[in-house]
Chain A
Amino acid sequence: MTTVLFYVFSAILLGSAVLVITARNPVYSALYLVLAFFSAAALFLLLGAEFLGLILILVYVGAVMVLFLFVVMMLDINLARLREGFLRYLPLGLAVALVGVLELSAVFWTAPLGRLTAPAGSLSHGTSNTRALGTLLYTHYLYPFEIAATILLVAIIAAIALTLRRRPETRTQAIGEQLAVQVRDRLRMVDLRESGK
């Protein structure tokens, strides 16, 4: 049963991954990428790695691809012009693909195949693998984890700093000031009987 499901999800994953780069409409490409993430998450779940599978859906499908679609939908892409440079960039693409293939084969060459395909559940002794992963990340891999977090934080700040434009001419609300307004700032009571005398 699991084997059948594995081949079904793998076939969907590979098929949608191919369609990502061959689909003519970029919105379709983005949606096929979503399908590819889904199938990958299903494969993680089949391996018993529920944390990785769900985080893949949560982060990539739930947030990253929403923003991707957001951008892709707003582009008015001329496909003919996109295809113009195809032959010129082909060698570069092939070189990148070759490096990828080499790296993957290096991994398969050095690591024993059994360790790569063993279910993740068997690594954690009885506890859920979310807990096992958390324990490992915060004990054995604490420094790499914290360094990665710091790098991401710096990247966030840099991205904001690079795109931040202060525009003094635009009018914005000062919400703190609005909330701090008292009645006496806005309303002046006039005693009419005094003036009518």
Chain B
Amino acid sequence: MVLETVEQQAWWPAVWSLLKIVMVLVPLLLGVAYLTLAERKVIGYMQIRLGPNRVGFRGLLQPIADAIKLMFKEVVVPSSANRFLFLAAPVLAFVPAMLVWAAVPFGPGMAISNMNAGLLYVLAVAGLGVYGIIVAGWASNSKYAFLGAMRAAAQLVAYEIAMGFALVGVLMAAQTLNLTRIVEAQAGGGFWSWYWLPLFPFFLVYFISGVAETNRAPFDVAEGESEIVAGFHVEYSGMGFALFFLAEYANMIFVSVLTTVLFLGGWYPPFSFAPFTWIPGLVWLLLKTAFLLYVFLWIRATFPRYRYDQIMRLGWKVFIPVTIVWIVAVGVALETPLRSLLR
């Protein structure tokens, strides 16, 4: 009798998919937990404070303490809220934030699903998170929550167009929607063959739109604690609030990873000679992502919040025209000898 290997069993593909999902989501949630600590530490030092330093060595157990606190807090449902939608909204925000990771490539062949239309998939799914915010704002039956939801909806629609155009530029240059092949199209030299250079306007527009889409400072008018208390999640406590929080931070990590994949060469080292090529690709991907996450925190500690009309002006009147012009430029470049800059 011939022994079958594990890979030949009928149940193996399903188990392998589940394993891959666990291998992505567990580090992701740990990353989210420690991103909150990093945020408080980084902003603390930028403001000449120490940040949390009481729980564990230098505050390293602070995220665990926060998680335990949030899990055991009572979930309060306001008496005139729409109970079902109020409880469903955090889930609606959290699920898309996890779903987008299905298409993210962490290395050559290292993705939960190496789908053909990966770029389209992440753009489509990333836009769904706003339903959690809108539904939360409406179901809370509170004017502050509602104002936050309205702001989030208008902001999302404005910035998703600019974001989509930026991604159109990337797919024109790479000639594919497959995220793995987009990274492979950036191989060659070192960091100067990555797309941030020929597609520099798209790089900026995508990253700034990413900051806006995750409702982070300076675009956090949906929360706007000085005007509308805490915006859409003002009525939430305990795990309901925690899910919104997890979704926001997971989205931050996602925008950083996707910016790395699309514009910063994914898992390729910045120089293609000896000491840099010894370090595995996953480490490079994580280093670049960590740098972009630092930029997120840096921006938050540096800039004051945009006024609402200024956000709309930036999205509609600056980003969209800039991206349209650069799409035409890329289109022209692809039909002339300049295309060697993109390939």
Report which A residues bind B (CB closer than 8 A).
Answer: 27, 31, 34, 50-51, 54-55, 57-58, 61-63, 66-67, 69-70, 73-74, 128, 130, 175
Contacts and interface: CB of A to CB of B under 8 A. Distances in A.
B288 to A, nearest CB: 26
Contact of A54 (B121, B135, B150, B313): B121
15 contacts: A31-B85, A31-B135, A51-B117, A54-B117, A54-B120, A54-B124, A57-B128, A58-B164, A61-B127, A67-B153, A69-B131, A69-B134, A73-B138, A73-B149, A73-B150
Contacts of A63: 127, 157, 160
A175 to B, nearest CB: 7
B134 A50 contact: no
- Of all A-B residue pairs in the complex, the 4 with the closest CB atoms, nearest first, are A62-B127, A58-B124, A57-B124, A54-B120
B127 A58 contact: yes
Interface string B114-150: 0111001101110110110011001000000010011
Contacts, number: 65
Given A58-B124, A58-B127, A70 B116 contact: no
Contact of B116 (A55, A66, A128): A128
B177 interface: yes
Given A50-B115, A62-B127, A55 B120 contact: yes
Contacts of B116: 50, 128, 130
B264 interface: no
B154 A70 contact: yes
A34 B124 contact: no
B320 interface: no
A67 B130 CA distance: 11
Contacts of B247: none
Contacts of A31: 85, 135
Contacts of B154: 70
B156 interface: yes
Given A27-B138, A54-B120, A66 B313 contact: no
A23 to B, nearest CB: 12
A28 to B, nearest CB: 8
Interface string B311-341: 0010000000000000000000000000000
Given A58-B124, A62-B128, 13 more contacts: A50-B116, A50-B120, A54-B120, A55-B120, A61-B124, A66-B156, A69-B153, A70-B154, A73-B146, A128-B116, A130-B116, A130-B117, A130-B120
B86 to A, nearest CB: 12
A62 B160 contact: yes
A40 B215 CA distance: 29
B304 to A, nearest CB: 15
Contacts of B153: 66-67, 69-70
A76 to B, nearest CB: 12
Contacts of A50: 115-117, 120
A69 to B, nearest CB: 6
B315 to A, nearest CB: 13
Nearest to B133: A66
Nearest to A127: B116
Interface in B160-213: 160, 164, 177
A55 B120 CA distance: 8
Contacts of A128: 116-117, 177
Nearest to A55: B120
